[in-house]
Amino acid sequence: MSLNPTERFSNRVANYVKYRPSYPTAVLTCLQDECGLNETAVVADIGSGTGILARLFLQHGNQVIGIEPNKEMREAGEAYLAEFPNFSSVNGTAEATPLPDNAVDFVTAGQAAHWFDREKSLPELRRILRPGGTIAFVWNTMAFDDSPFMQGYEQITLRYFEGKPSRKNEMRGNVVAFLGEGTQVRHFTYEQQFDLAGISGRLLSTSYAPLADDPRHEPMLRDLATLFAANEEDGRIRFLYTTELYFRQFA
């Protein structure tokens, strides 16, 4: 049964918190240099999930309001970010936030942005954005061509994941058209390092990966272990990304 996007990660929260990557600080530097991001800016992080992207802005000193429809993810984010008094989170979506008009200086979204309804979300994001504010979407895209391990990892996802949409049908393939003229795009390199348990958890954090009650689960993990053994150095592998940042300031 296909899950509603807001429910897809309910049974993957622990792996998501533990194994999903952060984002490079170059994202902050770019938004500082090109959009005037400073410590006083108020940020609405849409689809804030477990708080990975929000933490980057909180460490910068910003007030961040997380908008997250999934109860389990939202509670995990509140726990993960409990040390930051300038963080709050509410139940809501990109298409229907509970925020008032002109409430924030930046609207951000990480990996969650590809779930947004492309017709309904932009008017809502514009509504909560102050004049002169910025909408910024950021993704860590797996760099499948950059190493033999990454090439093999892609083959595992193609072999075992079902229902994963084509990039051309995702928001990620349509961001420039979505945000409109004046959208800027930047790319940065990023990586994680994992042992076998870590890369297994990273794989299982993906919403399309078969879980333990699925007959594809054990064969997938065996293939991953074989791939790991063929490519590890000192018991670890490098998991490579290209971080994509899309942003536009609105008058």
**Residue 119 lies inside a defined structural domain of this protein:** yes
Quote the pLDDT of residue 80. 94
Quote the pLDDT of residue 206. 87
Residue 11 has pLDDT above 60, yes or no: no
Quote the pLDDT of residue 15. 81
**Residue 21 lies inside a defined structural domain of this protein:** yes
Going 229 to 233 to 236 to 240, the CA torsion angle's sign is negative
Residue 145 has pLDDT above 50, yes or no: yes
Quote the pLDDT of residue 169. 57
**Residue 152 lies inside a defined structural domain of this protein:** no
Total count of domains within the chain: 1
Chain segment 117-127, per-residue pLDDT in tens: 989 999 999 99
Q: Which residue has the higher pLDDT, 12 or 201?
A: 201
Chain segment 154-167, per-residue pLDDT in tens: 999 999 998 765 55
**Residue 205 lies inside a defined structural domain of this protein:** no
**Residue 215 lies inside a defined structural domain of this protein:** no
* DSSP string over the chain: -PPPGGGTTGGGHHHHHHHS----THHHHHHHHHH---TT-EEEEET-TTSHHHHHHHHHT-EEEEE---HHHHHHHHHHTTT-TTEEEES--SSS--PPTT-EEEEEESGGGGGS-TTTHHHHHHHHEEEEEEEEEEEEEE-TTSSHHHHHHHHHHHHH--SPPPGGGSGGGSHHHHH-TT-EEEEEEEEEEE-HHHHHHHHHTSTTS--TTSTTHHHHHHHHHHHHHHH-BTTBEEEEEEEEEEEEE--
**Residue 203 lies inside a defined structural domain of this protein:** no
- Place 130 in a pLDDT band, splitting at 50, 70 and 90: very high
Q: Identify the domain containing residue 50 by its residue range.
A: 5-142+165-193+241-249
**Residue 211 lies inside a defined structural domain of this protein:** no
**Residue 34 lies inside a defined structural domain of this protein:** yes
Chain segment 214-246, per-residue pLDDT in tens: 999 999 999 999 999 999 999 999 999 999 999
Average pLDDT over residues 164-188: 82
Tell me the whole-structure pTM to 2 decimals.
Answer: 0.85
Q: CA nearest 180: which of 138, 139, 141, 135?
A: 135
Residue 67 has pLDDT above 80, yes or no: yes
The enclosing domain of 54 has a CATH number of 3.40.50.150
- HSE at residue 234, side-chain half, CA atoms within 13 A, is 2
